[in-house]
């Protein structure tokens, strides 16, 4: 029997059309069908004859008058596979014989673990819905939140779970959302890696069974990133259907891609259920993270361009200077002294670097690790956030004043969630770290993790950061996080409740970042975790950019950047010009042109020992920084087209950025090693206005002789851009710009 609908929700079919923007949310009371349209995407679900919320359609945008009949469960296949398990539910409780991944699994105080969620009521919003589900008997309510982005068609989904029973219950597994795809053959794309080797695009066929991508580490992790893309059939970079998603959570997470016994494919993601247990007392709620999902019919390239624009317009925070603006500010060109001075920072040494950096056209000078406590190396000092008097006898002020007088702003490194046992903080508060009392405390990089879930630790971290920012004129902090969790105990809580550390820790971090930004509205933040270990759409709501790797070797950077670009916009992708050979001991020597053009593909930073550069090097860097400043909006906020992939031992790589209004494009081309005399492949450009005329000019390198200086977009896209005959060799780089006439 279908449950009675609440009168408020469904007296009439409600259709709210957002003015000016092409998105709508509508509910058809006759068929109980919910429909969301945004960009080129439609997403449809409905209440089936049993009262379950069932997914009906996700894909290319449907006609405005197209309609769906009421959802019908998939008939039972056999007594072994009831319709309960084969029907794609929007948010299935574990109960009534569900064998696929549940969205929600709970344990009630009386031992009952059966949960069957049926539709209860809903609210229609301009771009989405709140749909309330309830267990068929018990007072557990789940509100599903849907918000469709009018421009990209990316749908943000999450859930709020509420206990209205008289007894506590334990949530053992809670997803943000489950996504169902049309039956078919798919290739799964996801990002894997390790420290100094992140962002490998891993591609594999989806087979029957479940594929789990996850972090059990307490934070996002280098090893896998919470992003996926499923390509149908013969999809490639530019063609075919792609369904993609990214989870906004910086703690332990899990995404399960499942092909069931009827070949249906589902993706379920949210809190990692491993070692999970969240007690909800009567009246309490649990919010899940947001799982963002999108669809493109233009291949993986189309999918990442949608995601990039969504991140720029909807996820990344604004500062006081950019409040209300469509896009965040492009990132200042940075200098970071870590690669040069390491822990040996001093006022004089940093001033010498700052003077040279300013002369190059750098906008922001950053002092990394080593400025605080007794931090001579990585064995001591974390937790003692006072300025080291031996290194900076007069505090940071003289250095900051100098940096300002040179026309730059100032940034500083912190690692707030960590402590070295050799620190005053740990000596005073040994109970503040994650630990199980009486058990060993495993150190990594000689440090332990502070239990940020504890209110006293949260207050300490918030107030030391606030004090640092109040007492010093700091525009930017790089927040580092250099290990994963071990012994995740929180012994102030009853044993049954200690696992909420996985959620409270991360929520407290988000809250601290939000408060700091509110109190210091010009503050900008970089997320770093030994490079790219904490990048996800959760933390990106509070930070302006991200470290992608501790490996700054420019050849390695080609693949790191390429992998990163599947999920994240180049705007947040810090990219470094470092010394050659670089500090990672890759032992590869490269030219400054190669290094600079590599770093210019993201948010440019200089990390080399610039005091050792000769006049020629200085002049080259200065010129390229000036060019970068000019072209930066197109490079980091334009549409990215990956023309030749650097992956899988490729000899070459190339990509193109096109400004949103198609008035400008920038092309980067790199040679790994020319083999057997083959020249650089013809570059057929993409995304230009075919009818417009574009003037080609070189940033570095030459086009083949006879290349027109002005030609139509159609010419550059169909005929293509040919490189000079002599563009050959090892680790060569070229870049061009095209400006609409």
DSSP 724: P
Q: Which is nearer to ligand GLA, 369 or 384 (CB)?
A: 369
How far, CA to CA in Å, does 405 sit from each of 123, 604, 610, 633, 729? 55, 22, 19, 27, 43
Residue closer to ligand GLA (CB basis): 232 or 547: 547
Q: Is 659 helix (H, G, I), strand (E, B) or coil?
A: coil
What is the nearest approach in angstroms of ligand GLA to the Cβ of residue 605?
10
Report the residue number, 177 or 366, with the smaller CB distance to ligand GLA.
366
Count other C-beta atoms under 10 Å from residue 77's C-beta.
Answer: 14
Spatial neighbors of 151 by CB under 8 A, at least 6 apart, are: 21, 22, 23, 38, 39, 309, 310, 313
Q: Is 482 in the site for ligand GLA (CB under 6 A)?
A: yes
Of 349-357, 510-518, 524-532, 733-741: span binding ligand GLA (CB under 6 A): 524-532
Rg (CA), the chain: 27
Q: Does 165 bind ligand GLA (CB under 6 A)?
A: no
Out of 41, 201, 512, 528, name the contact with ligand GLA by CB under 6 A: 528
Stretch that binds ligand GLA, among 43-51, 161-169, 526-534, 648-656 (CB under 6 A): 526-534
Tokens 């083959």 belong to which residue?
678
Question: Segment contacting ligand GLA (CB under 6 A): 59-67, 252-260, 488-496, 528-536?
Answer: 528-536
Nearest residue (CB) to ligand GLA, 235 versus 388:
388
Minimum gap (Å) between residue 415 Cβ and ligand GLA: 7
Distance of CA 338 to the CA centre of its chain: 24
Q: How far is the CB of 411 from ligand GLA (least distance, A)?
A: 12
Strand partners for 38 = 23, 41
Distance, CA of 150 to CA of 427 (rounded, Å): 53
CB of 354 to ligand GLA, least distance (A): 18
Annotate each residue in 359-388 with x if it binds ligand GLA (CB under 6 A) or - if it does not, as one string: ---------xx-------------------
What is the distance between the alpha carbons of residues 580 and 576, in angstroms, rounded to a whole number? 12
Q: How far is the CB of 276 from ligand GLA (least distance, A)?
A: 29
* Distance of closest approach, residue 465 Cβ to ligand GLA, in angstroms: 17
- Please name the residue that has the structure tokens 């960009």: 39
Q: Does residue 576 interact with ligand GLA by CB under 6 A?
A: no
Q: Say which of 368, 409, 480, 551 is annotated catalytic.
A: 480
Q: Of 20-28, 48-56, 525-533, 693-701, which segment contacts ligand GLA by CB under 6 A? A: 525-533
Rounded to whole angstroms, the Cα distance separating 31 from 168 reads 36
The residues with which 108 forms a beta bridge, in sequence order, are 169
Residues in contact with ligand GLA, shown as a per-residue x/- string from 281 to 320 under the rule CB under 6 A:
----------------------------------------
CB of 444 to ligand GLA, least distance (A): 12
* Interface with ligand GLA, residue 149, by CB under 6 A: no
- How far is the C-alpha of 452 from the C-alpha of 433, rounded, in Å? 8
The footprint of ligand GLA on residues 332-351 (CB under 6 A) is: 338
CA distance 74 to 83: 5
- Estimate to the nearest angstrom the gap between the alpha carbon of 423 and the chain centroid: 33
Helix (H, G, I), strand (E, B) or coil at 684: coil
- Using the contact rule CB under 6 A, the part of the chain among 181-189, 388-396, 527-535, 718-726 near ligand GLA is 527-535
What phi and psi values does residue 410 have, to the nearest 5 degrees? -120, 140
Which is the catalytic residue, given 37, 135, 384, 550? 550
Nearer to ligand GLA by Cβ, of 370 and 563: the residue is 370
Task: Identify the H or E element spanning 562.
Answer: helix 554-567
315/412 with CB nearer ligand GLA: 412
Residue position matching structure tokens 């009675």 = 4
Contacts with 495 (C-beta within 8 Å, 6 or more apart), sequence order: none
Of the two residues 54 and 341, which places its CB atom closer to ligand GLA in the complex?
Answer: 341
Check: CB of residue 288 under 8 Å from CB of residue 175. Answer: yes
Q: Of residues 52, 480, 553, 700, which one binds ligand GLA by CB under 6 A?
A: 480
Instruction: Give the contacts of 461 (CB within 8 A, at least 6 positions apart).
Output: 416, 417, 450, 452, 512
Cβ(425)–Cβ(383) below 8 Å = yes
Q: Which of 413, 555, 576, 716 binds ligand GLA (CB under 6 A)?
A: 413
Active site residue 480: yes
Burial of 42 from C-beta contacts in 10 A (0-12 / 13-18 / 19+): buried
Distance of closest approach, residue 537 Cβ to ligand GLA, in angstroms: 21
Q: Which is nearer to ligand GLA, 485 or 652 (CB)?
A: 485
| Binding residues among 14-33 for ligand GLA as defined by CB under 6 A | none
The residue among 530 and 701 lying less far from ligand GLA, judged by its C-beta, is 530
195-209 burial, b for 16+ CB within 10 Å, e for fewer? bbbbbbbeeeebeee
The 3-class SS string of 187-203 reads: EEEEEECCCCCCCEEEE
> Taking a C-beta distance cutoff of 8 angstroms, is the pair 544, 328 a contact?
yes
**Nearer to ligand GLA (CB atom), residue 357 or residue 721:** 357
Q: Exposed, middle or buried: residue 627 (CB in 10 Å: 0-12, 13-18, 19+)?
A: middle
Question: Residue 561 CB, nearest distance to ligand GLA (Å)?
Answer: 16
CB of 197 to ligand GLA, least distance (A): 13
Q: Which residue of 90, 135, 384, 550 would you call a contact of ligand GLA, by CB under 6 A?
A: 550
Measured from the CB atom, the residue of 146 and 338 that comes closer to ligand GLA is 338
User: In b/e form, how buried is each residue of 715-741, taking b as 16+ CB within 10 angstroms?
Assistant: bbbeeebbbbeebbeebbbbbbbbbbe
Question: Any contact of residue 530 with ligand GLA (CB under 6 A)?
Answer: yes
Does position 552 interact with ligand GLA (CB under 6 A)? The reply is no
Position 547 contacts ligand GLA (CB under 6 A): yes
Stretch that binds ligand GLA, among 27-35, 523-531, 578-586, 661-669 (CB under 6 A): 523-531
Establish if 531 lies at the interface with ligand GLA (CB under 6 A): yes
Report the nearest approach of ligand GLA to the CB of residue 737 (Å).
Answer: 31
> Total binding residues for ligand GLA by CB under 6 A?
11
CB 261, min distance to ligand GLA, A: 45
Coil vs helix vs strand at 649 = coil
Token pair belonging to 184 = 């078919």
Q: Helices (DSSP H) in 57-188: which residue ranges?
A: 83-86
- Give CA–CA dist 158/181, Å, rounded: 18
Among all residues, whose Cβ is closest to ligand GLA?
Answer: 369
Active-site residue list: 480, 550
Contacts with ligand GLA by CB under 6 A lie at 338, 368-369, 413, 480, 482, 528, 530-531, 547, 550
């Amino acid at each position: 029997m279908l449950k009675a609908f609440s009168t408020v929700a469904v007296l009439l079919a409600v259709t709210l059309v957002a003015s000016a923007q092409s998105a709508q949310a509508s509910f058809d009371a006759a068929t109980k069908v919910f429909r969301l349209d945004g960009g080129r995407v439609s997403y449809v679900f409905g209440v089936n004859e049993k009262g379950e919320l069932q997914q009906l359609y996700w894909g290319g945008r449907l006609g405005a008058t197209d309609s769906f009949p009421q959802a019908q469960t998939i008939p039972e296949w056999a007594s072994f596979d009831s319709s309960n398990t084969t029907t794609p539910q929007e948010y299935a409780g574990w109960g009534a014989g569900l064998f696929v991944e549940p969205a929600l699994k709970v344990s009630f105080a009386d031992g009952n673990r059966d949960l069957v969620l049926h539709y209860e009521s809903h609210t229609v919003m301009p771009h989405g819905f709140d749909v309330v589900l309830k267990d068929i008997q018990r007072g557990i309510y789940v509100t599903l939140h849907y918000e469709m982005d009018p421009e990209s068609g990316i749908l943000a989904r999450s859930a709020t779970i509420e206990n209205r029973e008289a007894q506590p219950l334990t949530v053992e597994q809670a997803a943000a959302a489950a996504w169902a795809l049309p039956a078919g053959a798919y290739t799964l794309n996801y990002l894997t890696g390790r420290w100094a080797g992140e962002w490998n695009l891993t591609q594999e066929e989806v087979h029957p069974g479940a594929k789990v991508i996850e972090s059990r580490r307490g934070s996002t992790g280098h090893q896998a990133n919470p992003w996926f893309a499923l390509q149908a059939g013969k999809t490639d970079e530019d063609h075919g259907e792609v369904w993609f998603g990214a989870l906004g959570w910086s703690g332990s997470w899990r995404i399960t891609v499942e092909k069931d016994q009827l070949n249906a494919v589902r993706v379920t993601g949210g809190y990692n259920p491993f070692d999970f247990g969240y007690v909800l007392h009567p009246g309490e709620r649990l919010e899940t993270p947001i799982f963002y999902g999108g669809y493109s019919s233009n291949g993986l390239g189309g999918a990442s361009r949608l995601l990039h624009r969504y991140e720029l317009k909807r996820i990344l925070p604004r500062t006081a200077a950019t409040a209300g603006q469509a896009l965040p500010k492009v990132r200042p060109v940075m200098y970071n002294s870590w690669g040069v001075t390491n822990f040996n920072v001093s006022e004089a040494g940093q001033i010498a670097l700052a003077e040279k950096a300013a002369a190059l056209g750098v906008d922001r000078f950053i002092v990394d690790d080593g400025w605080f406590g007794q931090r001579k190396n990585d064995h001591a000092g974390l937790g003692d956030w006072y300025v080291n008097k031996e290194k900076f006898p007069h505090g940071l002020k003289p250095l900051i004043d100098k940096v300002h007088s040179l026309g730059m702003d100032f940034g500083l490194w912190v690692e707030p969630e960590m402590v070295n046992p050799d620190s005053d903080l740990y000596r005073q508060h040994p109970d503040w770290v994650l630990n199980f009392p009486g058990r060993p405390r495993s150190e990594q990089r000689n440090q332990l993790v502070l239990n940020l879930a504890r209110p006293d630790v949260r207050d300490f971290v918030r107030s030391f950061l606030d004090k640092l920012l109040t007492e010093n004129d700091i525009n930017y902090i790089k927040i580092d996080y250099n290990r994963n969790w071990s012994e995740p105990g929180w012994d102030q809580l009853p044993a049954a409740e200690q696992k909420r550390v996985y959620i409270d820790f991360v929520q407290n971090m988000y809250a601290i970042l939000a408060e700091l930004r509110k109190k210091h509205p010009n503050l900008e933040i970089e997320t770093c975790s030994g490079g790219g270990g904490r990048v996800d759409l959760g933390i990106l709501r509070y930070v302006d950019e991200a470290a992608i790797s501790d490996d700054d070797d420019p050849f390695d950077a080609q693949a790191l950047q390429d992998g990163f670009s599947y999920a994240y916009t180049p705007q947040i992708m810090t990219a470094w010009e470092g010394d050659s050979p670089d500090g990672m001991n890759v032992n590869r020597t490269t030219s400054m042109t190669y290094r600079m053009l590599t770093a210019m593909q993201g948010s440019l930073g200089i990390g080399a020992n610039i005091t050792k550069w000769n006049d020629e090097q200085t002049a080259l860097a200065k010129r390229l920084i000036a060019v970068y400043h000019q072209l930066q909006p197109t490079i980091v906020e334009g549409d990215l087209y990956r023309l030749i992939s650097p992956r899988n031992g490729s000899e070459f790589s190339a990509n193109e950025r096109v400004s949103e209004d198609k008035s400008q494009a920038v092309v980067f081309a790199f040679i790994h090693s020319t083999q057997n005399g083959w020249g650089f492949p013809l570059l057929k450009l993409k995304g230009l206005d075919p009818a417009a005329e574009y003037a080609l000019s070189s940033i570095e390198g030459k086009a083949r002789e006879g290349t027109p200086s002005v030609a139509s977009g159609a010419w550059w896209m169909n005929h293509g851009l040919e490189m000079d005959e002599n563009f050959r060799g090892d680790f060569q780089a070229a870049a061009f710009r095209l400006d609409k006439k």
